[in-house]
Chains A and B, each alone.
Chain A
Amino acid sequence: MAGELTKLGIAEAKAGLAAKDFSAVELTSAFLDAMEGGRALNAYITETPDLALEQAAKSDARIAAGEAGPLEGLPIGVKDLFCTRGVLTTAASHILDGFTPPYESTVTSNLWRDGAVLLGKLNMDEFAMGGSNENSYYGPVVNPWRRNGDTAALVPGGSSGGSAAAVAADLCVAATGTDTGGSIRQPAAFTGTVGIKPTYGRCSRFGIVAFASSLEQAGPMTKSVTDAAILLGSMAGHDPHDSTSVPTPVPDYAAALTGDLKGKKIGIPKEYRVDGMPAEIEAWWAKGAEWLRDAGAEVVEISLPHTRHALPAYYIVAPAEASSNLARYDGVRFGLRVPGKDLIEMYENTRGEGFGPEVRRRIMIGTYVLSAGYYDAYYSRAQKLRRLIANDFETAFETVDAVLAPTAPSAAFASGEKADPVSMYLLDVFTVTANLAGLPAMSVPAGLSDQGLPMGLQVIGKPFDEAGVLNVGFALERAAAFKAKPAAWWRA
């Protein structure tokens, strides 16, 4: 029974709790057991079993009293980028050693308001910088999926790699992630899970450790599109603590899932057909277009002419913002302090020891492109490119309702395979555009590669049309009927 419980997603677990098939404490206990048995994946940095059982008991009381919230008793994993009151929050960085926030992020507050249970804090790339979850101070996360007939460890993608692995391996009912350049969608694609990055401004960024403030958004990572719709409904909403959060009402996303796309027009951007793209990615993309046609949509080719400039623009804007945001880690107010003979040396020692290699690289690049004499050549130019990329989408959305593209240019790869930073950056080629333009975008599993690994399809939508994006995702999910799960090799 317990093993069966962890297979449940949000929608099924909600139904089971409502029907009193099992209690919130039983459900939570089943996940806590699975987490203990799944430590080989290194998905969690911090497990919070005592807190989880306490919250679950309260959920059972509220369910008994007929006061259940929308996420009542559902055990969730939270990316360790969200501040959680009284629970260690690390951003997977050495520099946040021992940091126990005295406050709660708005997104996680919304989850607890709606009755969710915290299982623990999920591993990630340090400060959300990376695409493989190899950049964590707490060690890499292992993808639950392996290639057919091979035991080599694969990366789960990143930066929300712990979230993706935990959802795929049934170590939580669902998880939160954040997406600055693809950090929800790419790991979702690598693990056969669903993830949506909402429109910039849809979810509050208050209490999320900041990396690139103009690009990042929180979003759900789940076992199904319906689960993503339910979880996003709780996470989203206006927050006076984040001046970029938008006071637009949050619709009932789950109610919008009909899978009927009659009258909808879907664009296939020809510039996303990049050189050297594996044939099977092209094939799944074509299959996705066919599924959407079957669901009633008209599929047309579109042009997003500035696509190829998105990655270089992103790798100027994001490091520039990172160098500014990460200036706060100075060894004075929280986290790690490494002594020095004077104030400057204390800063330098703390930051030299506290940041990992990728974070250091990005701070250095950001500092350089913002420094006197280079601002116009790099940063200002990148922002102009960002405008052209956003304009491309605006023009496209005059004729289409959503865009269909691959999520990533490859399936999951082996640990250590991409040692060169730029080859890692190229993984974000299909995802960064939605961050630069602030658009909602999601990844849905399409099927398995020749090597038996999950492949994702991406849907990009109009600003604040998460409902439309989710419905296209729902149509893909229904047609794909992706039911594969990784063999549970990690259970000792």
Chain B
Amino acid sequence: MSVDPATVKKIARLARIRVDEAELPALADEVNGILHFVEQLQSVDVEGVAPLTSVVHRSLPLRDDVVTDGGSAETLLANAPDRIECFFTVPKVVE
């Protein structure tokens, strides 16, 4: 499988990364190099093998459903690139 510059543009859009048009062909080559490398997995017989999602052999622990933290608005906002009062800001999304 290989990707063309148009597909790379689509992936970049999905990943929310701006890529200049002029960079697309070179980036497609890089992505294809990697895809070609991982392609070798297609030759392995994995019939009946269950995917391994975690190497921790125990079920996810549940904690008590109680409040343990909170009331830290100032701390949470301290690193915000921009804020208004107690809120993060983003460019206007509704007209």
Q: Which A positions have Cβ atoms within 8 angstroms of B?
A: 98-100, 102, 200-201, 214, 240, 243-244, 246, 306, 309, 311-313, 315-316, 323, 327, 330-337, 339-349, 351-353, 355, 360-361, 363-365, 367-369, 371, 377-378, 380-388, 390, 420-422, 425, 437-438
B56 at the interface (CB under 8 A from A): yes
| A421 near B14: Cβ-Cβ < 8 Å | no
B55 close to A438 (CB less than 8 A): yes
Residues of A within 8 A of B38 (CB): 312-313, 315-316, 369, 378, 382
In the assembled complex, how far is the CB of residue A378 from the closest CB belonging to chain B, in whole angstroms?
7
Which residues from chain B contact A390 at a C-beta distance below 8 Å?
A: 52, 55
CB distance from B24 to the nearest CB of A (A): 11
Check if B34 sits within 8 Å of A421, measured CB to CB: yes
Given A363-B15, A380-B51, does the pair A343, B81 have CB atoms closer than 8 Å? Answer: no
- Residues in B lying within 8 Å of A, measured CB to CB: 1, 3, 8, 11-19, 27, 30-31, 33-35, 37-42, 44, 46, 49-56, 58, 60-61, 63, 72, 75-76, 78-82, 88-93
Q: CB < 8 Å: which of A246, A309, A387 contacts B50?
A: A387
- Picked from B17, B58, B63, the residue with its CB within 8 Å of the CB of A352 is B17
Beyond A333-B80, A385-B46, A386-B51: 12 further Cβ-contacts under 8 Å? A201-B55, A312-B37, A312-B39, A332-B80, A337-B81, A345-B91, A352-B18, A355-B17, A364-B17, A377-B42, A387-B52, A425-B34
Residues of B within 8 A of A306 (CB): 44
Q: How far is the CB of A289 from chain B (nearest CB, A)?
A: 27
A381 neighbours in B (Cβ, 8 Å): 41-42, 44, 46
- For B91, the chain A residues whose CB sits under 8 A away are 339-343, 345-346
Cα A351 to Cα B16 with chains together (Å): 7
- CB neighbours of B27 from chain A (8 A): 361, 364
B88 cross-chain contacts in A, Cβ below 8 A: 332-333
A246–B56 contact, CB under 8 A?
A: yes
The answer to whether B55 touches A334, judged by C-beta atoms less than 8 angstroms apart, is no
CB A423 to nearest CB in B, in angstroms, measures: 10
- Count CB-based A-B contacts (< 8 Å): 163
Q: How far is the CB of B70 from chain A (nearest CB, A)?
A: 14
CA distance A214 to B50 in the complex (A): 16
Which 5 A-B pairs give the minimum distances between C-beta atoms?
Answer: A438-B55, A352-B18, A383-B51, A337-B81, A334-B79
B18: A residues at CB distance < 8 A: 345, 348-349, 351-353
**Closest CB-CB distance, A268 to chain B, in whole Å?**
24
User: CA–CA, A352 to B88, complex, Å?
Assistant: 21
Which residues of the other chain, A, contact B1 by a CB distance below 8 angstroms?
Answer: 377
Q: Which of A309, A339, A344, A385 contacts B16 (CB 8 A)?
A: A344
Per the bound structure, the CA–CA distance linking A369 and B38 in Å amounts to 11
Rounded to whole Å, the gap between the CB of B2 and the closest CB of chain A is 11
Contacts of B15 in A (CB 8 A): 323, 351, 363-364, 367
Tell me the bound Cα distance from A212 to B16 in angstroms.
19
Residue pair A364, B8 in contact (C-beta under 8 Å) = yes
Cβ contacts A to B, 13 pairs, < 8 Å: A312-B37, A312-B38, A313-B41, A332-B81, A337-B81, A343-B90, A344-B16, A348-B13, A352-B19, A353-B18, A361-B31, A369-B38, A381-B44
| Cα distance A278–B30 in the bound complex, in angstroms | 28
Q: Tell me if B93 and A420 are in contact (CB < 8 A).
A: no
* Residue of chain A at shortest CB distance from B55: A438
Interface contact A421-B33, CB-CB below 8 Å: yes
